[in-house]
Structure 1
């Protein structure tokens, strides 16, 4: 490896930025520029102390900051490493196009394959339940819904989990109530049942994850989530599904085409 001076540079004694933040800045820039790649071990505390001429606590604060940001992970007795990131999946505006359903592919499968990744689904649960007030209002106030919960993985890494809520009068005793609803997923089944999909409304916000979401998505410290709620409407204007999805923010790029007229 090149010298630490060429990789990390030196501290700016005239800067009013805290020294540990300057060190974190240098490491972050080196990671962003590929000087340290995913899985690479970062310079040890001793190496950084010697290079920057600072205390060990200052170096630890810098490394801790990178871990809080989700850029690095500490392995006990081994050191601090650049954290591997899940493959990025583009959340494109045409992901629910009918042509994908007609090919027998659900949206997650289509986009995972486009990214060259291997899609998986686990932690699947299908049950009848009473909806929350918010879900009930979005679906036109049904007394009970069919809830389909699942977690999605790319190349073995969890990237999102989602719950679809459908009015029970639509979903009960249909393939939608089965763990595997068949080619094209639940949207294909809805259209086969006469509910031709017309449009989707989506609400998206970013936030920090709950402890349960950290465990489910195996998130590193400091990684936020994207919370997306989508409502699907058929050609008669009926809300036929609400999908509540939580995604690891470092695994997605939101890509949309918006009309200008």
Structure 2
């Protein structure tokens, strides 16, 4: 419960709605507004702070865009309860997890306390891969690749879109071309073909989502996404997969651990 909010400073250069958002954000961070708790209604905030309804709505929208609160029609605005999926890059592709039949996302989601699922799976062969894929796979523009597109969900909430590209010369005739690639995911299937994985290279960025990405990830307006392009290499140094992922930024914490040498 929020017992106190900072008064609006009418002499400040900071817009009143941003001051309200700052105050509510601080209450969430301190625990005064606990996960799952309901924020004061628009009418209550208007009366307590002496502002117009639109000012309150702008403040709430800012918090929604940051993923801190969710609005439920007819019920109000609530502090988000779900903790982010913690993506531990230094451990997520460990062989022991593949051998245990756990694909990376499933293992991460379960560790974070979520039920993981995958939908919108599409598998096809294409002859004209995007240029960034052609470059990373060291292939010609006309070489066939297997394209695997899917959406990842945590507790039925969309959090990530991913598209993998695997050379047909590597994955043809394997479960990589099936909708269900089997226990351990496509990396387990790659190793079964003799392409034992030796290294991953990841490039991380951030941007605003496209219209389609916003729709598929069910993002509120103003919510950014994390982009991550990963290239997987086998022990011989051959690139065997490029994965292009788009993650809902509020849903993830990316954690990296590496030696200081």
Mean Cα displacement is larger for which, 14-23 or 223-232?
A: 14-23
Partner of 1:139: 137
- Measure, in 1, the Cα distance between the counterparts of 2:253 and 2:169: 36
Partner of 1:121: 118
1:39-83 deviation digits (Å, cap 9, x = unpaired): 54422232222212233343343334334444345555x364136
Q: Is the 8 A contact 1:200 1:230 kept in 2?
A: yes
1:105-153 deviation digits (Å, cap 9, x = unpaired): 1111221221221110111111001211221111111511001111111
- Measure, in 1, the Cα distance between the counterparts of 2:67 and 2:157: 15
1:199-223 deviation digits (Å, cap 9, x = unpaired): 0011000111111111111112222
Q: CA deviation at 1:85?
A: 5.9
Partner of 1:24: 21
- Measure, in 1, the Cα distance between the counterparts of 2:256 and 2:57: 41
**Of residues 87, 90, 109 in structure 1, which corresponds to 2:86?**
90
Secondary structure of the corresponding residue to residue 4 of structure 2: helix
Partner of 2:222: 222
TM-score if structure 2 supplies the norm length? 0.89
- Measure, in 1, the Cα distance between the counterparts of 2:144 and 2:188: 22
Count the aligned residue pairs: 257
Q: Is the 8 A contact 1:203 1:229 kept in 2?
A: yes
- Measure, in 1, the Cα distance between the counterparts of 2:65 and 2:109: 28
Match runs of 1:8-23 below 5 Å: 8-13=5-10, 15-23=12-20
Q: CA deviation at 1:156?
A: 0.9
Match runs of 1:147-166 below 5 Å: 147-166=147-166
CA pair 185-54 structure 1, distance change in 2 beyond 3 A: closer
Secondary structure of the corresponding residue to residue 176 of structure 1: helix
- Measure, in 2, the Cα distance between the counterparts of 1:148 and 1:55: 49
- Measure, in 2, the Cα distance between the counterparts of 1:64 and 1:237: 47
Q: CA deviation at 1:35?
A: 3.0
**Of residues 77, 83, 92 in structure 2, which corresponds to 1:81?**
77
Mean Cα displacement is larger for which, 55-64 or 110-119?
A: 55-64
1:231-258 deviation digits (Å, cap 9, x = unpaired): 0001111100001111111111111111
**Of residues 99, 102, 113 in structure 2, which corresponds to 1:105?**
102
Partner of 2:243: 243
Mean Cα displacement is larger for which, 90-99 or 7-16?
A: 7-16
Q: CA deviation at 1:31?
A: 2.5
- Measure, in 2, the Cα distance between the counterparts of 1:138 and 1:234: 13
**How large is the RMSD of aligned CA atoms in angstroms?**
2.1
- Measure, in 1, the Cα distance between the counterparts of 2:81 and 2:212: 20
- Measure, in 2, the Cα distance between the counterparts of 1:64 and 1:132: 36
